[in-house]
């Protein structure tokens, strides 16, 4: 039986990694000179989240806003054949995030482009048809305006009313999730900012659970999972359940793209019929492995799929524990 598609809605960006070496300083300023040896591009933002879900062999529809400038055309080419792209008009230039890297570490990041959806960008996208039959919807908000569009939000509200699972990955500059979302997945900093009020100290599961509880009412969500980086995730449910989900130990690695991998993993698992706690536990383990193997900078296109390049991983026995884990119920 063909798997039902995951629909990803959000702001697609173009990520570029420029790799090089540094052996000298610029003579007219105290700045390193990067001798470029390689450059690679990949989908970013909602584009990366969608590409990673599609890399699992799941049919994916990506709803976004794209400008037909050179970076926008390049992004379309990167996504072509990997998923079903449904794009409305964008203004202000396609967002390009360029990381200048040395020895696997980012020396500098430069951003350009506004990537704002044009007024009524979604009017001709046929969102009702796009969302029909979806196994789950992932809203991958990068604060550029797709998730705030009134027509997008109305279509999402109708999907919620039909019982379609909606996973919402929020952004500080973005709107609140539509009421009734199945799961909202802020990281700790995003949760603290959204919750307001007294700031909880520490990064442990208890702080995450407290914040998740406060956000359940604010967002009118069925569940909130606060991701804690190396601490895993803390989940609170409207029905009163709660769980702390540990992450496997990882030494080093690169966290770039881990949030997209996590949110996409949750949406894929929910679309396949998993309950929220099981989906979060699976996604925490998978995101930890993603980080350990080098994060977003190791994602490459193989045929029609975007996959993490795992050849010769920088892992040694004992440094990366097996990726296993399960929710710990909290009374």
Read out DSSP for 89-149?
A: EEES---EEEEEEETTEEEEEEEE---EEPTTTTTTS-HHHHHTT-SEEEEE--SSSTTT-
Q: What percent of the chain has pLDDT over 90?
A: 85
Domain membership of residue 14 (yes or no) is yes
Residue 147 has pLDDT above 80, yes or no: yes
- pLDDT, tens digit, 9 for 90 and up, residues 264-280: 999 999 999 999 999 99
Q: What is the mean pLDDT of residues 315-321?
A: 32
Q: How far apart are CA 108 and CA 200, in angstroms?
A: 31
Q: How far apart are CA 158 and CA 296, in angstroms?
A: 33
CATH code of the domain in which 233 resides: 3.40.1190.20
Domain membership of residue 26 (yes or no) is no
Return all residues near 141 (Cβ < 8 A) that are at least 6 apart. 10, 11, 46, 147, 168, 169, 170, 171, 174, 175
| Between residues 37 and 202, the one the model is more confident about | 37
- pLDDT, tens digit, 9 for 90 and up, residues 169-210: 999 999 999 999 999 999 999 999 999 865 555 556 789 999
Give the end-to-end CA distance of the chain in Å, rounded to a whole number.
39
Of the candidates 11, 260, 275, 277, the residue annotated as catalytic is 260
Domain membership of residue 27 (yes or no) is no
Domain membership of residue 1 (yes or no) is no
pLDDT for 290 equals: 96
- pLDDT, tens digit, 9 for 90 and up, residues 46-73: 999 999 999 999 999 999 999 999 999 9
Mean pLDDT, the chain, rounded, equals 91
Torsion of CA 287, 223, 235, 63, to 10 degrees: 10
**Which domain range does residue 116 map to?**
6-21+32-312+319-329
Domain membership of residue 70 (yes or no) is yes
Q: What is the mean pLDDT of residues 217-241?
A: 95
Coil, helix or strand for 81? coil
Q: How far apart are CA 27 and CA 297, in angstroms?
A: 30
Domain membership of residue 130 (yes or no) is yes
Q: What is the mean pLDDT of residues 310-319?
A: 39
Q: Are 138 and 34 in contact (CB under 8 A)?
A: no
Domain membership of residue 216 (yes or no) is yes
Q: How far apart are CA 235 and CA 255, in angstroms?
A: 21
Domain membership of residue 208 (yes or no) is yes
pLDDT for 315 equals: 35
Q: How many domains is the chain partitioned into structurally? A: 1
pLDDT band at 259 (very low <50, low <70, confident <90, very high): very high
Q: Are 119 and 102 in contact (CB under 8 A)?
A: no
Instruction: Output the pTM of the full model.
Output: 0.90
pLDDT for 198 equals: 59
Give the Cβ contact number of residue 291 at 10 Å. 25
Helix or strand holding residue 286 (H, E): helix 276-292
pLDDT for 313 equals: 39
Q: Is 149 a catalytic residue?
A: no
């Amino acid at each position: 039986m063909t798997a039902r598609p995951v629909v990803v809605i959000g702001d697609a960006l173009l990520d570029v990694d420029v790799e090089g070496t540094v052996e000298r300083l610029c003579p007219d300023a105290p700045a390193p000179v990067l001798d470029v040896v390689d450059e690679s591009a990949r989908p970013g933002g909602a584009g990366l989240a969608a590409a990673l879900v599609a890399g699992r062999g799941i049919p994916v529809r990506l709803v976004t806003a794209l400008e037909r400038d050179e970076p926008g055309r390049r992004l379309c080419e990167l996504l072509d054949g990997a998923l079903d792209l449904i794009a409305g008009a964008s203004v202000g230039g396609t967002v390009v995030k360029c990381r200048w890297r040395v020895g696997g570490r980012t020396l500098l990041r430069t951003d350009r482009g506004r990537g704002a959806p044009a007024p009524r960008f979604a009017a001709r996208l046929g969102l009702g048809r796009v969302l029909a039959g979806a196994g789950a919807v992932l809203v991958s908000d990068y604060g550029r305006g797709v998730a705030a569009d009134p027509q997008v939000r109305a279509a999402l509200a109708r999907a919620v009313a039909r019982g379609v699972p909606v996973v919402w990955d929020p952004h500080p500059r973005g709107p609140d999730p539509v009421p009734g979302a199945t799961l909202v997945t802020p990281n700790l900093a995003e949760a603290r900012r959204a919750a307001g009020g007294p700031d909880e100290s520490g990064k442990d599961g208890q702080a995450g659970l407290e914040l998740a509880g406060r956000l359940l009412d604010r967002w009118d969500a069925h569940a909130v999972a606060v991701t804690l980086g190396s601490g895993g995730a803390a989940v609170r449910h409207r029905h009163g359940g709660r769980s702390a989900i540990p992450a496997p130990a990882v030494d080093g690695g690169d966290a770039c793209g881990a949030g997209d991998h996590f949110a996409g993993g949750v949406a894929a698992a929910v679309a396949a019929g998993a309950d929220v706690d099981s989906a979060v536990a699976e996604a925490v383990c998978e995101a930890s492995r993603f980080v350990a193997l080098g994060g977003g900078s190791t994602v490459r296109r193989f045929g029609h799929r975007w996959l993490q390049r795992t050849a010769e991983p920088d892992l040694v026995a004992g440094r990366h524990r097996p990726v296993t884990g399960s929710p710990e119920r909290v009374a």
